[in-house]
Structure 1
Amino acid sequence: MNKTKIALLLVPFFSLNVLAQDSLPQENPTAQVTPKLSVLDSIKSTFVHHEIANCVDQEWMKELTNQELYAEMQNDLVNVDPDVKVDYDLSTDLLKARLKEMDAKSPFNIEYNEGLENIIKSYLKNRKKSYERLMAISEYYFPMFEAALAKYDVPLEIKYLAVVESALNPHAKSRVGATGLWQFMFATGKQYKLDVSSYVDERSDPLKATEAACQYLSNMYKIFGDWDLVLASYNAGPGNVSKAIRRSGGQQNYWNIRKHLPKETAGYVPAFLATMYIYEYHKEHGIEPRRAAISYVATDTVAVKREMTFKQISDLLDIPESQIKLLNPAYKLDVVPNVKGENYYLRLPMDKVAMYTSNEDKIYAYAQIEDDKRERPYFTRKTTVTAPTQTAIASSDEKEVVNGSRLVSKTKYHTVKKGDNIGEISLKYGVSIAEVKKWNGLRNNNVMLGSKLKIVTSERVATTVVKKAPKVIKKEAPETAIASNEKTAKKEFIIPENDTPKDSEYYIVEKGDNLGTIAKKYGVTVEQIKEWNNLEESKVLFGSKLKLIRGENAPIETKAEKAEQQIATASSVRQYLVKKGDSLFSIAKKSGVTVENIKEWNDISNENIKPGMKLKIQG
């Protein structure tokens, strides 16, 4: 039988087999396995949702927090000279007519003069694109400004003051420290009850800063009775305006006293009036404002009843952290704090406010779960452990022993990555900002990209429990002895593994050292050194400090050997001349040492160094 015939005979057989399989019922279909949900997904799956579109896109958020427009506005205030003529196609007669129309409906003294004409023409010639962007941002803030200004009977045109002051950037900060949309100095902000702390700077809060600005402007009007002079006092201070009035022989028109005001203020009111003109007549000059993606009135606030990070809020509400930062610029560390007696609010788009309030209990439950995951420091306290034959009182550096474990300190190093801040780092390790600053000699909350931060935490490690039979030292009555022994037997005398009653000492790691050579020098094992110092790896950094207990077989170091060692160390000291652009971090990296080493060798407490300084470097 050839191969062709065999093939023909097999075809019907396989066909019948396939048909038979198709006709059989599927008794065990493959069941779909539902993936296990995380705590976050489990909570979010129970949320009550409100289907309203979130229209704040990434580009719009960038525009609302840009620094470029603020820099341009500040540059104009200082450098644009009202007395320099500008070549621009705008007739003087037409400008006079338009200014007269503006003056008729405004409490400001809007009168034509050459200085104002020159500034208006300068802005139209050089800053058209900037004003298109500013007008879009205005759509976001102006409704809120106007509501507050109306409340305090302040002219609505004052809204243009924020354009001149900060280019509508809540994060704007001047060279002298004025901050926020309305550029409040620290002392003035405090005077108007704007809270400034490590967590919060309410000078950057649009609502609270606007309220404070309205109060300030209203008070200044009671003093001067003229809105032009109020504007001048907002920039230069009421004292400088009063001096200018006296120096001009008592004249009280801004344009008459302008030459006696500081240079920046001399261009301040003209810049305000020029901005007002461009907003009023932008269409006539071909300025087409970009459209705002969202208005301030399309957002609302919700009271936050426990500490929440922006990341937690972002994860729960599916809203970008950048958007939360945009809407809540007053929170400096991306954390909404919780302080007794204080109320803190979170501003969100309307739909997210609805979601937050509908699911508040679940949100706080998730925040608590996340908080419980944080590594926390254990605090030491004096404890008394009764041994059968003696009473041992724990020293101040011993840790509390609980359930066969003890607390040990552990030093870690965190490398600062892009986007890190000191608040997030402290939250990650369960320590305070003050502790991070103390361990790393920081004077403020700024951390450099790439720098290594020392973090000290406490962890529990197992101990060996040694139970000893009770032994009576002095003669006691039978009843007393039994009671005493029963009481002692209830307590466990706990001795940590590999620990000895010998005094410990500290060893500074030298160049070329490793755990093996150090262990040999002290007559101990590498594992003992690692346990005493909570080391997971066998690597040790040059200059680091190790706690050691000298073993019985350790070689005795003579005075002559010590002296020889000191001479060798002294001879390895060299001087480094600080160059322009150097930092302690760059010098330490270059020299193979740590920043703390350099600070200790040179007896310096901070990281401020200047070119020309001579630093001692060992090794």
Structure 2
Amino acid sequence: MHYYRKRRCYQPGVLLLALSILCLALAGCGARKSAAPEVSLPGVIVPETGGDPLTHTEVAALRSTGHIDRDVPDHAMEDVALQYKYFLRKGRQTMCSFSKRSEQYLDYARQVFRARGMPEELANLAIVESGYRPDARSPAGAAGAWQFMPGTGTLYGLQQDWWTDERLDPYKATEAAADYLQKLHNDFGDWPTAIAAYNAGEGKMSRAKLGTGGRNFFEVKALNHTLDEKTQLREETKQYVPRFMAVTKIMRNLPQLGFDPIQPEKAPGVVRFTARPGTDLTAFSKACDLSWPEFSSYNRHHKRRITCTDRCTFVYVPARSQKLAEQYLCTAQTAGYAGWGPVTVASSADSWEKLSRRANVPVARLKAVNPDVGRLKAGQTILAPRGVNMSRTAVAALDDKKGKRTKSKPVAARKEPVKGRAESAARSRDGEKAAAHGGRHTLQANETLYAVARKYNVSVAALQEQNDIEDPGRVRQGHVLRIPAAGAQRRESAPVARGASGSIGKKRARKVTYTVQANDSLWKIARKHNVSVEDLKRWNRVDEKSLRSGTRLVVAEE
């Protein structure tokens, strides 16, 4: 439900000081209540008037201007003044909380907009959207600090799937928001209209602009009442731009207005790393000396305890843990779950113990990466080694074997374990021999790379590299695997020092390169190859000033 203020007529050219005083006498409407006030600002804020008049200092701050709010028509300043006074009075605690939370992200956001030649004030838009809460969600389905809807997020490169929701990555979402706002500015020609379109949608804004003949948001807003109900801008959008301008004026003058000053440039640093597919995030957090809740607070975009096993993804740690993170990410066990993926439970008769026997993986390990799953039920999606047989037939076969063992004679039952131990010991000796000298292994039914790696005491990553396997899920029964010798395994596991590019990797790492094109920036190149700007700088010892067309950059290390 939306609330509308009564329309009034005002003479043009009213002084800003007079407007701020006049707002005391105007009768206003109640603000729409927010369903989740701690998550984001209410959709419509039409502040109540009254209370103390603005002081000279507050009027001076209201009259301050930046790139976006410098050409506001006099008739539009009333709404800006009303929003401004709301956040100074009734909404002061909200403004205090949001400004403090934004301190962690503002410096990065300003850098992103500055690098694209866009006004730095746009960084304040996330305050209006969510109060800079990375995990903010709206009833309509928008998510993250920049409140991307699913479709728009996908369009601007924010992955959303079983593994991740990158709308909750405040840094990558900031880059996507900059791309979207830049596109809207190109479409509409000015920032207030682009900001209104960010809230209403570009289609809605285009139709309202066409229907009124207005050249910008302010003219469209003034003529909004001439449109039919379907085409009209909602009250939320009409108040959205004034609210942004009011918040921007306050952020520009926090100490003068009695708010605690913030220093975004001195906020605790956060370092972004590119994690390989199947990285164990629980082990990563422990290696960085971080509790899981603290680690998770930096990585809300990850839905699982391991990273996606199909692609590289970003992982964030506080700057104090940078060296520990670098040490962990260059070890062989980092991507220990590269051969795992989402599988569907086919039968409610299945259990962790049965799955453990089929996958040859300890129950504790299966449960560790599925912490929220209790008893297995048909239709559930869980993490398990790819290629494991999840069919009802496989589950039933285990039940049949168990039944036969139960019915067997006591004497036979006593002899069987002895035979089993002998066979197990023989297999162990074979595995040790193959691990020492190398060899071959034919993949059996329901056997996974993880099981083979355990048998021969090598890593899954070493098996993949030795056999040129990119996707462990595509390895099938009958595949002949070359087993790396023990010496090769040790060499593969050993990290090497930083090379000329400054990267950390393995001796056999393959580098992927890219030739810089005209108008390229590190932001664009990093986004195109799904790596961080920090990675590009570290691998190539390059920055924006030294970037030249025709230069070949390392954009990935495999």
Q: If the length of structure 2 is used for normalisation, what is the TM-score?
A: 0.53
Give the deviation of 1:229 after TM superposition. Answer: 0.5
Query: What SS does structure 2 have at the residue aligned with 1:283?
Result: coil
Closer/same/farther in 2, CA of residues 357 and 123 from structure 1, 3 Å limit: same
Closer/same/farther in 2, CA of residues 433 and 188 from structure 1, 3 Å limit: farther
The answer to whether the 8 A contact 1:154-1:217 is kept is no
Are positions 1:428 and 2:366 aligned together? Answer: yes
The answer to whether the 8 A contact 1:180-1:205 is kept is yes
Closer/same/farther in 2, CA of residues 300 and 462 from structure 1, 3 Å limit: same
Give the deviation of 1:291 after TM superposition. Answer: 7.3
Query: What SS does structure 1 have at the residue aligned with 2:137?
Result: coil
Match of 2:64 among 68, 91, 101: 101
The answer to whether the 8 A contact 1:107-1:155 is kept is no
Closer/same/farther in 2, CA of residues 257 and 146 from structure 1, 3 Å limit: farther
Q: CA RMSD in A?
A: 4.6
Are positions 1:365 and 2:303 aligned together? Answer: no
Match of 2:172 among 183, 187, 208: 208
Q: What residue is the counterpart of 1:237 in the other structure?
A: 201
The answer to whether the 8 A contact 2:271-2:319 is kept is yes
Are positions 1:223 and 2:161 aligned together? Answer: no
Query: What SS does structure 2 have at the residue aligned with 1:315?
Result: helix
Are positions 1:129 and 2:67 aligned together? Answer: no
Counterpart residue identity of residue 277, structure 1: K
Are positions 1:344 and 2:309 aligned together? Answer: no
Match of 1:439 among 377, 380, 399: 377
Q: Deviations over 1:412-453 (max 9, x none)?
A: 69xxxxxxxxxxx996348989999982556999xxxxxxxx
Counterpart residue identity of residue 185, structure 1: M
Match of 1:313 among 284, 294, 297: 284
Give the deviation of 1:209 after TM superposition. Answer: 1.1
Match of 1:154 among 105, 110, 118: 118
Give the deviation of 1:146 after TM superposition. Answer: 0.9
Give the deviation of 1:460 after TM superposition. Answer: 7.8
Are positions 1:333 and 2:297 aligned together? Answer: no
Q: Deviations over 1:90-140 (max 9, x none)?
A: 05x76665444315x546534552222122111111222222222222221
Query: What SS does structure 1 have at the residue aligned with 2:183?
Result: helix
Q: Percent identity?
A: 23
Counterpart residue identity of residue 81, structure 2: E
Q: Deviations over 1:350-398 (max 9, x none)?
A: 2322122234455x43874x999x9x99x99xxxxxxxxxxxxxxxx9x
Distance in 2, matches of 1:72 and 1:271, equals 18
Distance in 1, matches of 2:279 and 2:244, equals 40
Closer/same/farther in 2, CA of residues 256 and 272 from structure 1, 3 Å limit: same
Deviates more, 1:256-265 or 1:217-226: 256-265
Distance in 2, matches of 1:200 and 1:462, equals 39
Query: What SS does structure 2 have at the residue aligned with 1:232?
Result: helix
Specify every segment of 5 or more residues in structure 2 that has no aligned partner in the other structure, as ranges. Answer: 1-33, 226-231, 354-362, 384-393, 414-558
The answer to whether the 8 A contact 1:248-1:256 is kept is no
Distance in 2, matches of 1:359 and 1:438, equals 33
Q: Deviations over 1:224-249 (max 9, x none)?
A: 11111001000001121122223434
Are positions 1:81 and 2:46 aligned together? Answer: yes
Question: Where do residues 59-78 of structure 1 align in structure 2 (5 Å cutoff)?
Answer: 71=37, 74=40, 76-78=42-44
Q: What residue is the counterpart of 1:354 in the other structure?
A: 323
Distance in 1, matches of 2:210 and 2:114, equals 33
Distance in 1, matches of 2:209 and 2:64, equals 29
Query: What SS does structure 2 have at the residue aligned with 1:228?
Result: helix
Question: Where do residues 263-278 of structure 1 align in structure 2 (5 Å cutoff)?
Answer: 263-278=235-250
Q: What residue is the counterpart of 1:118 in the other structure?
A: 82
Query: What SS does structure 1 have at the residue aligned with 2:172?
Result: helix
Specify every segment of 5 or more residues in structure 1 that has no aligned partner in the other structure, as ranges. Answer: 1-67, 381-396, 398-408, 414-424, 446-455, 465-494, 501-527, 529-619
Counterpart residue identity of residue 117, structure 2: D
Q: What residue is the counterpart of 1:189 in the other structure?
A: 153
Are positions 1:252 and 2:245 aligned together? Answer: no
Q: If the length of structure 1 is used for normalisation, what is the TM-score?
A: 0.48
Q: Deviations over 1:181-203 (max 9, x none)?
A: 11111111111121111111111
Q: Report the structure number with the largest CA radius of gyration.
A: 1
The answer to whether the 8 A contact 1:236-1:265 is kept is yes
The answer to whether the 8 A contact 1:164-1:272 is kept is yes
Query: What SS does structure 2 have at the residue aligned with 1:285?
Result: coil
Q: What residue is the counterpart of 2:552 in the other structure?
A: none
The answer to whether the 8 A contact 1:102-1:110 is kept is no
The answer to whether the 8 A contact 1:251-1:257 is kept is no
Give the deviation of 1:326 after TM superposition. Answer: 1.5
Counterpart residue identity of residue 77, structure 1: G
Closer/same/farther in 2, CA of residues 426 and 147 from structure 1, 3 Å limit: farther
Closer/same/farther in 2, CA of residues 431 and 313 from structure 1, 3 Å limit: closer
The answer to whether the 8 A contact 2:129-2:147 is kept is yes
Counterpart residue identity of residue 365, structure 1: Q
